Structure 1
């Protein structure tokens, strides 16, 4: 006997389509398309912002080159005629201010290049001690104003395989942070050789950074402020740029810190040869 055909409504256990599934699927597809359009618009806006920042940084930095050259010439004349005079001292301070301005503009430009994937770094032999000496000398007025001293312990025979300007940017950002958040204490810049790499440590004895914030501060627009009495300054991109530059040169950066016990940033970069 043939089996009887059962007619009636589809049961809840059926895998067939339901009438109310069709509008829901159409609605989901429309929401997905709207989200994709919004994401595309946001990406265009970010690209336009980065292009704008790059243009602004370029326009801000370029006029300062001849100004810095003129300051250098005036300083040379003043140093010959009255090296200890007020004019020479004022020009030294002016040179420092102009150099700091150029560095800030360069940071903006590097951030824009990093975001657009245009941050091309060319490795070459770079004497670490020489760059550290230049950075520390340029930041000594800032450190003196904060009441901090900077001690250097970097062997002369450490030659890195990196881009000199990128190394300068890394050290400048780390030492500047140590001065800002070092609470007027001693700062140390040291380096050691470990196999085929150099480990560069910048340490301060300041307010420190809570463990919960130690990953966050390497992101863009974040600041290493752990004390509400310390007003945040700068763009909040310094440590993010340090990480990006170090990684682009085959290295990395790490942090060891506790609130009230200071902070030590360790940058690892490959040695030449």
Structure 2
């Protein structure tokens, strides 16, 4: 036999649940719902654990950083060019980087759980850019990169200073990692009540097919883990979340072998 009748005859007989198997389907749906609920609880527990770990990692470093700063200041007054002063300056930078990494973990956890509350205030953009670039100068020098800054002094943002610092730190760090030792430029312009902040490098660039992916958690521009720089793979995801939380956004312009330019848009202080 052929045709619709043959296809109907081929359907296995219905069990006790009935012809449409509605009872079996209901059981499967209920099982899936229980599994989803269990996964959500596991994710919530993971995020809570991550927040606790980040908090415990960061807090003990605050008094340590204070002591390092005190010793750095004393050594700089006694022998500014001495090896002790230079070593303490390097130690201070390493401790600050450690604190920043712990803060990144904490911010990721807060963003994921919807607890990332940002308070807007007037923030001078040029001042924050200068601080971030200065803190990353040892990393840039080690990579063979120079960082130039062209940010007008009159650009005052309406944002949270720590979040802005985190955005700039992630973007400049990213440019140093993937900039292939080339020049890096940080600039900003005013445009209709907003500031457009650009961080550009001349490095390996990012393929168009990867440009959306790298803004997701645990993703990187380099697909091969053996060749990718060390990191959590959350920097650009956090940049996007922080920028959007402050009423702005982030965009990317890049081609392989021609570098990359990340543009963050944030509101200006009225």
TM-score normalised by the chain length of structure 1:
0.92
Q: Is it true that 1:105 corresponds to 2:102 in the alignment? A: yes
For structure 2, the residue ranges without an aligned partner over 5 or more in a row are: 1-6
Q: Is it true that 1:75 corresponds to 2:99 in the alignment? A: no
C-alpha spacing 1:226/1:148, structure 2 compared with 1 (3 Å): farther
Aligned to 2:43: 46
**How far apart in 1 are the matches of 2:202 and 2:182?**
6
Q: Give 3-state SS (helix, strand or coil) of 2:136's partner.
A: helix
More deviation in 226-235 or 58-67? 226-235
Q: Is it true that 1:237 corresponds to 2:234 in the alignment? A: yes
**How far apart in 2 are the matches of 1:244 and 1:231?**
23
Q: Is it true that 1:163 corresponds to 2:160 in the alignment? A: yes
Shift of 1:230: 3.3
Deviations 1:104-161 (A, max 9, x none): 0000000000011110000000000000000000000000000000000000000000
**How far apart in 2 are the matches of 1:165 and 1:80?**
30
Contact 2:177-2:229 within 8 A present in 1 as well: no
Point out 4+ residue stretches in structure 1 off by more than 3 angstroms: 18-21, 226-230
**How far apart in 1 are the matches of 2:223 and 2:54?**
29
Shift of 1:229: 7.5
**How far apart in 1 are the matches of 2:57 and 2:127?**
28
Deviations 1:209-262 (A, max 9, x none): 000000000000001226787334211000000000000000000000000000
**How far apart in 1 are the matches of 2:97 and 2:112?**
23
Q: Give 3-state SS (helix, strand or coil) of 1:266's partner.
A: strand
Q: Is it true that 1:145 corresponds to 2:124 in the alignment? A: no
C-alpha spacing 1:241/1:115, structure 2 compared with 1 (3 Å): same
Q: Is it true that 1:199 corresponds to 2:225 in the alignment? A: no
Shift of 1:76: 1.0
**How far apart in 2 are the matches of 1:42 and 1:19?**
33
The partner residue of 1:216 within 213, 220, 223 is: 213
**How far apart in 1 are the matches of 2:226 and 2:111?**
32
Q: Is it true that 1:250 corresponds to 2:247 in the alignment? A: yes
For structure 1, the residue ranges without an aligned partner over 5 or more in a row are: 1-11
Aligned to 1:92: 89
Deviations 1:187-213 (A, max 9, x none): 000000001000000000000000000
Larger Rg: 1
Q: RMSD of the alignment, in Å?
A: 1.6
Shift of 1:22: 1.8
Aligned to 1:177: 174
Q: Is it true that 1:116 corresponds to 2:113 in the alignment? A: yes
Aligned to 2:4: none
**How far apart in 1 are the matches of 2:57 and 2:225?**
32
